[in-house]
Amino acid sequence: MTAAASARVAGVGLGLRAPLFRDLMTRAPATLRWIEVSPENHIGRGGFFESMLADARGRYPLVTHGISLGLGDREAPPRDFLRALRAFLEEVGSPWHSDHLCFGAVDGAHLHDLLPLPFTEASIRAVVDRVALLEDALGLPIAVENISWYAHPGDAAMGEADFLQEITHRSGAGLLLDVNNAYVNARNHGTDARDFIRRVPADRVVQIHVAGHLTGADGLRIDTHGEAVCDEVYELLALALARTGPVPVLLERDGGFPPFDELAAEIERLDAIVRAAAP
């Protein structure tokens, strides 16, 4: 990452989504400072997706966030995809590239889901090796994101915070800390989200995600990115920022789009929390 590219990304960002694009370009609050882009939504697509990207890049710094690398997949991503991804990352000038700490493909079949890895030494080694492969292939630092998960495979040899600690410190990867995922997991599995936030490797956090989630009639929390951010997630964000300092914070909104003024108000509230975080 160049220092210049990294320094441009600060404060609050929003994901680039077609239904938000017009408002994003014409009436976003001044507190919106950068845009997150998923390369998989743009690679190989021209037309509107190409022009939307060009307009966003002309106005905001861009950061890339992938949805298909599956950092715990047994098989490495295809070389031709990695070449196309590298060209995309260079084109938009992203300071790092993030993807999810999960698996999503088995025997060449992509499952289009973010499935949890066992919290084991074998998983740590596999992810550390994959991060090295990706950083070499992409020429950028990799950041790994903690996912929301609803059931867990196998016997966990350690807690999730220790799992993140081992992976980021052994691989040198950054951590994209998703505080909504932390909250959803804690509520669904009866653990303490504040304790999790206190134990993640704060020195590795390069970016934070916040989002809204759905609460089912049975109480199950579902990570939809289609609701307003809840008060408890704002509080977790403040707790995380007290440990990390003012790292860039992204509002994830992928569906159930409200009037843009509601998103603008969320951006303003997030910005106030980031500004209150001590450097």
Closest residue to Fe ion in the complex (CB): 209
* Nearest-approach distance from CB 100 to Fe ion, in angstroms: 8
Distances (CA, A) of 231 to 5, 140, 169, 188, 239: 32, 35, 31, 17, 13
Q: Closer CB to Fe ion, residue 130 or residue 209? A: 209
Question: Helices (DSSP H) in 47-201: which residue ranges?
Answer: 47-59, 79-92, 121-138, 160-171, 179-189, 193-199
* Nearest-approach distance from CB 137 to Fe ion, in angstroms: 23
Q: Closer CB to Fe ion, residue 42 or residue 225? A: 225
Q: Closer CB to Fe ion, residue 209 or residue 213? A: 209
Classified as helix, coil or strand, 264 is helix
| Binder of Fe ion out of 36, 73, 99, 178 (CB under 5 A) | 178
Q: Closer CB to Fe ion, residue 56 or residue 176? A: 176
| Binder of Fe ion out of 17, 209, 213, 221 (CB under 5 A) | 209
Can you read off the two tokens belonging to residue 250?
């992204």
* Nearest-approach distance from CB 237 to Fe ion, in angstroms: 13
**Contact region with Fe ion (CB under 5 A), list: 27-35, 165-173, 178-186, 266-274:** 178-186
Per CB under 5 A, 36 contacts Fe ion = no
Answer for the pair 26, 52: CB distance below 8 angstroms, yes or no. no
**Contact region with Fe ion (CB under 5 A), list: 29-37, 43-51, 83-91, 208-216:** 208-216
CA distance 134 to 132: 5
**Contact region with Fe ion (CB under 5 A), list: 131-139, 166-174, 194-202, 205-213:** 205-213
Classified as helix, coil or strand, 109 is strand
* Nearest-approach distance from CB 99 to Fe ion, in angstroms: 10
* Nearest-approach distance from CB 201 to Fe ion, in angstroms: 17
Classified as helix, coil or strand, 108 is coil
How many residues are present in the chain?
279
Q: Closer CB to Fe ion, residue 166 or residue 178? A: 178
CA distance 92 to 64: 8
Q: Closer CB to Fe ion, residue 76 or residue 214? A: 214
Binding map of Fe ion across residues 129-168, x = CB under 5 A, - = no contact: ----------------------------------------
Q: Closer CB to Fe ion, residue 154 or residue 255? A: 255
Extended strands (E) in the chain:
12-15, 32-37, 62-65, 97-100, 103-106, 109-115, 142-145, 174-178, 205-211, 214-215, 221-222, 249-252
Answer for the pair 56, 37: CB distance below 8 angstroms, yes or no. yes
Give the interface with Fe ion as residue ranges (CB under 5 A).
178, 209
